[in-house]
Amino acid sequence: MPVFDLAKRIIGGEELSFLGDRRAAFVCQDTNAYILLPGFCDVHVHFREPGFSYKESIASGARAAAHGGYTAVCTMPNLNPVPDSVAHLRAQQELIDRDACIAVYPYAAISVGERGEQLSDMEALAAAGAIAFSDDGQGVQDAGLMREAMQRAKALGKLIAAHCEDRSLLHGGYVHDGVYAAAHGHRGICSKSEWAQLERDLSLVEQTGCAYHVCHVSTKESIRLIREAKRAGLDVSCETAPHYLLLDENDLQEDGRFKMNPPLRAREDREALLEGLFDGTIDMIATDHAPHSAEEKARGLAGSAFGIVGLETAFPLLYTGLVLPGHVSLETLVDKLSAAPRRRFGIPAGRDCAIWDFNARYTIDPRDFLSLGRATPFAGTAVQGRCLLTVHGENIVYEENLIG
C-alpha cells in the first residue's frame, strides 16, 4: 500500500493497529517495509518563543518535532516573558494556537520569573491551561518554597517537574567533574549537584504527597534514589535523554555541540541509566531539545551556551543504538517515547501516528534539520530508521520529500 494511501486511511478514521497496542501495521511498497508507530510525546522541550525566537520559534520547533515523529510536546518556561502569570501564559498560547502544527502544551513557572523567591499564581495558571509546573534551567533552591509549591500542586492535581541542581555546588563548572575535565583543564560539575537536591525533594514529596517528575536524570545516584522512592510508594516519575543513554564523558570533544546541562557523565553513570531504563526506574525518554544560534554554540566547551537539539534524531539514534543490538525491545522504546509520557502528563494520543522506513540507513546531517538549531553531538553518526510521514489529528504535519 502506498504510504499516502495509508495516511488517508488514518485521517479518514479507518481503524488501524499500530505498535502502541503491541501490534504493528506493516505496509510494503516496492522493496521498502514501512511501520506505523504512534505519535511520540516529549515532555521536555525548549521552543524559545516568546523572547528568543532567533534560537527557535514555535513554528520551527513544531515542524522539527513532526520531522522526528512527535505529535505532542511540552514546552519549558524559561522564556521572556516567563509564563508566571495568566497574561504571560496566554501570550504564549496565542503563538502556539497560531503557529504550531502539532499539540504543544506549555509549562508554567513554579516561581515568579523563575527566580525562586516567590511562588507564581499556580491556581490561576492551572486554570489557564498549564500542563505542569517547572523552574527548568534554574531549579528551586529554597526548600521551604519547594514544599509550598508541592502542597499547592498537590491540591491542584498538577505535576511538579523538577530541574534538580544545587547551584551552590556548581563552582562555575560546565562539563562533568570527571576524568575528561581533569585531563583537559575544564571546570567540572559534580554529580552531587544533581542528586543532593533530588534527595531533598524526595523527602518533601514524602511529606506532601505531591506528584513529582524528575527532569533529565544523569547520575547513578539519582537512579538509586528514584528506584528507592518508587519502592517506598512515592508518586515519582523521571525522564532521561538519548544523549545520556548513548554517550558519556569519554565521547566529549572540544566543541560546543557536546555541552549540555546536566553534562555527559561518567561511563558508570550511563550504565546505571541503561539499567534504570531496563528495569522501569526510568519512565520515559525526553530530548531536552534546547536550540541555540550557531554563534552561541561556537565558543567551545567553556564558552558555549548549554543545550543541544534532539527532536529530529531521538528515535533513529535509540532504535539504532538500543533496539537493533537487542538491548531493549521496540515495544519498550515506543512506550518510553509515546504512551508513558502521555499517561503521566494526561496527554491524549488520538489517532496521531507516524510512518517509518526501518530499512533506511543514513548519516545524521544537521543541515537536514527543520529546527533552527544545529548543535548535536551526533552529527556524522550512522543510523537506521527514517520518518516518512507524520499525522496529527486530521492533518499530515510532515512528509518526506522523497516520497512519490
Q: Give catalytic residue positions.
A: 288
What does the radius of gyration of the chain's CA atoms come to, in whole angstroms?
20
Three-state SS sequence of 114-166: HCCCCECCHHHHHHCCCCCEECCCCCCCCHHHHHHHHHHHHHHCCCEEECCCC
The candidate with the shortest Cα–Cα distance to 341, out of 39, 7, 56, 10, is 39
The candidate with the shortest Cα–Cα distance to 152, out of 140, 166, 165, 163, is 140
- CA 18 vs CA 73, 285, 313: distances in Å: 21, 20, 21
The candidate with the shortest Cα–Cα distance to 371, out of 284, 293, 300, 286, is 293
Q: Which three cell numbers stand for residue 58?
A: 514555535
* Residue 308 to residue 78: CA distance in whole angstroms: 15
* Residue 149 to residue 134: CA distance in whole angstroms: 10
* Residue 3 to residue 360: CA distance in whole angstroms: 15
Q: Residues 351, 25: contact at Cβ < 8 Å?
A: no
Residue 132 has a CB neighbour count (10 Å cut-off) of 24
